[in-house]
Structure 1
């Protein structure tokens, strides 16, 4: 099995998860860009980068809470 085949297999197995990851990233960046171009126009650039970095724990928090909600729903 070559490198290309292993990449294809990985994408085939994790396609929906990768799409969800991409959608979360695009939405997060769009929201932060909107906030800093329309609401926080005078904010320093470090605040913009901190909001971008806050997307990492927001991502894990969102998907962790989603999996907890699904587990709770399945147990009922």
Structure 2
């Protein structure tokens, strides 16, 4: 399977993943730019992005199933 085939098959999903990651990291970085919180809290917020990612896309799948 080539890169082009992979992008055709998963292109929109990969774009959604990338968009979520960029928005999350940018939001957390901007928040901690103004708050000047401790470094451990910054890393905890970044780790929470993994949980938020799976929670968001799981709830999106559930909403699509109910339609």
TM-score > 0.5 by shorter chain: yes
- Cross-structure match for 1:32: 28
What CA distance in whole angstroms lies between the structure 1 residues aligned with 2:44 and 2:60? 24
Asked which structure has the greater CA Rg, the reply is 1
Cα RMSD, aligned residues only: 1.1
| TM value normalised by structure 1 | 0.81
Q: CA deviation at 1:6?
A: 2.1
Instruction: State how far apart, in whole Å, the 1-side matches of 2:22 and 2:55 are.
Output: 17
Q: Which of residues 29, 52, 58 in structure 2 aligns to 1:58?
A: 52
Displacement of 1:7? 2.2
Could you state the TM-score of these two structures normalised by the residue count of structure 2? 0.91
5+ residue gaps in structure 2?
Answer: none
Aligned residues: 67
Q: Which runs of 5+ in 1 are unaligned?
A: none
